[in-house]
């Protein structure tokens, strides 16, 4: 088979998710070999962010298949000091395809002290609280909903492995060594791993082959092996998805590896900065004072100008707004060039949207 030879070190969800997705995105170019590593068993369940839906669609994994051993996850659960809980919902406030900007209108009223409770405007929050969608739910409401999964880890891993193998991914009978010898990763029998690129998807089980996240020499660390972040949100899964997409774009060639690695790492640094700030926000919501210069900048912009983060990061503006509001941050001003709705028209929009949620999502606690 023509193309690069790529070996994936790991045998967990991150390894098989990367293998299956990269195989499809790279149009089955080259050889893709998964080399198992022995590692401690993780949690019984794993959280998947909404962005994984795109990967499942590409891999032809139907929601009904996942529903057999998982349940939808409509937001990020936060457990604070003393066991107090909070939810940062996924999805959008208002119809994402509707006229105007629902969020900017709310920020304007919030700066004036007249905004309705944000929690009442989230269909995702209503679903998390036990609401059941009616069969005739308004399309605008459906477009505002975005869900991840809380899923059985072993069964999900087995499903990904089955999909990856069916798409031509190979699985080594030998395992990778756990120690760090002089040179490169190798098999436990001492033989070298012959590959143009080694993907460390060991989920932290292997010794660190490099001192930095990303692509260095022949080794590229992805997911948890690249960076461990707040456990409340599955940043590693999102990182695995973007790693597969980024690498498929580059399709590494031995003669261009240094150049491709530099560009990969530049993009990864932007992604990790966003994930770091989101992780710091989750820590603060849980009552831990975690320093983050980026998050401090986000807070200042929101408080002084009503501006939400626009830098490349793993959260939408709506999720950031939920987190800011949960911490009690209030904007002092808003951008008058963004939203043209006056107070009465904005209030009417919010009332209509809240009524739609109440009508189409009955039964919640």
pLDDT tens-digit profile of 46-61? 999 999 999 999 999 9
pLDDT at 95: 92
* Confidence bin at 93 (pLDDT 50/70/90): very high
pLDDT at 39: 61
- H/E stretch holding 7: strand 5-9
pLDDT at 179: 59
pLDDT at 82: 63
* Cα separation of the two ends of the chain: 56
pLDDT at 217: 85
DSSP characters over 172-241: -SS-B-SS--SSS-BBTTS-B---SEEEE-STT-SPPSSSSSEEETTEEE-GGGT----TTS-HHHHHHH
Domain ranges across the chain:
5-91+146-282
- Has residue 173 got a pLDDT over 90? no
The alpha carbon torsion through 165, 166, 169, 172 (nearest 10 deg) reads 30
- Has residue 207 got a pLDDT over 60? no
Distance CA 188, CA 174 (A): 7
Distance CA 169, CA 42 (A): 24
The 8-class DSSP code of residue 254 comes to: G
pLDDT tens for 264-320 read 999 999 999 999 999 999 999 998 888 999 999 999 999 999 999 987 779 999 999
pTM of the full structure: 0.91
pLDDT at 338: 63
Q: What is the mean pLDDT of the chain?
A: 87
pLDDT tens for 118-163 read 999 999 999 999 888 888 889 999 999 999 999 999 999 999 999 9
3-state secondary structure of 340: coil
103-116 in b/e form (b: 16+ CB < 10 A) is bbbbbbbbbeeebb
Task: Please give the C-alpha separations between residue 324 and each of 118, 303, 310, 321, in angstroms, as whole numbers.
Answer: 11, 10, 14, 5
Report which of residues 211 and 101 the model is more confident about: 101
Distance CA 73, CA 160 (A): 19
- When mean pLDDT is compared across 155-159, 190-194, 254-258, the lowest value belongs to 190-194
- Has residue 79 got a pLDDT over 90? no
Percent of the chain with pLDDT over 70: 89
Q: Which fold has domain 5-91+146-282?
A: FAD/NAD(P)-binding domain (3.50.50)
- Has residue 42 got a pLDDT over 90? no
């Amino acid at each position: 088979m023509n193309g690069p030879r790529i070996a994936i070190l790991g045998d967990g969800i991150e390894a098989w998710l990367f293998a299956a997705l990269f195989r499809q995105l790279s149009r089955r170019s080259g050889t893709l070999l998964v080399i198992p590593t022995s590692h401690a068993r993780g949690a019984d369940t794993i959280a998947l962010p909404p962005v994984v839906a795109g990967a499942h669609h590409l891999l032809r994994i139907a929601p009904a298949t996942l529903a057999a051993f998982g349940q939808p996850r409509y937001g990020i659960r936060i457990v604070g000091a003393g066991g107090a809980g909070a939810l940062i919902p996924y999805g959008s406030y208002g119809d994402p395809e509707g006229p105007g900007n629902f969020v900017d209108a709310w920020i304007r009223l919030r700066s004036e002290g007249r905004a309705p409770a944000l929690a009442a405007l989230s269909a995702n929050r209503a679903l998390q609280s036990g609401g059941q969608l009616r069969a005739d739910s308004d399309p605008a409401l459906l477009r505002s909903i975005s869900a991840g999964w809380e899923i059985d880890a072993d069964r999900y891993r087995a499903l990904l492995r089955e999909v990856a193998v069916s798409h031509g991914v190979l699985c080594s009978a030998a395992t990778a060594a756990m120690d760090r010898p002089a040179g490169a990763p190798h098999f436990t029998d001492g033989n070298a791993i012959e590959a143009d690129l080694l993907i460390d998807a060991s989920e932290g089980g292997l010794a660190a082959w490099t001192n930095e996240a990303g692509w260095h020499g022949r080794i590229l660390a992805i997911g948890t092996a690249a960076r461990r972040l707040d456990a409340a949100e599955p940043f590693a899964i999102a990182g695995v998805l973007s790693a597969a997409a980024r690498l498929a774009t580059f399709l590494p060639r031995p003669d261009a590896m240094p150049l491709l690695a530099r560009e990969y790492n530049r993009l990864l640094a932007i992604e990790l900065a966003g994930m770091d700030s989101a992780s710091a926000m989750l820590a603060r919501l849980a009552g831990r004072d975690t320093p983050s210069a980026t998050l401090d900048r986000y807070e200042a912009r929101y408080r002084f100008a009503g501006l939400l983060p626009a830098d490349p990061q793993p959260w939408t503006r709506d999720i950031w707004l939920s987190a800011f509001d949960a911490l009690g941050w209030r904007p002092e001003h808003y951008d008058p060039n963004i939203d043209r709705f006056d107070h009465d028209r904005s209030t009417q929009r919010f009332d209509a949207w809240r009524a739609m949620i109440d009508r189409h999502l009955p039964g919640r606690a």
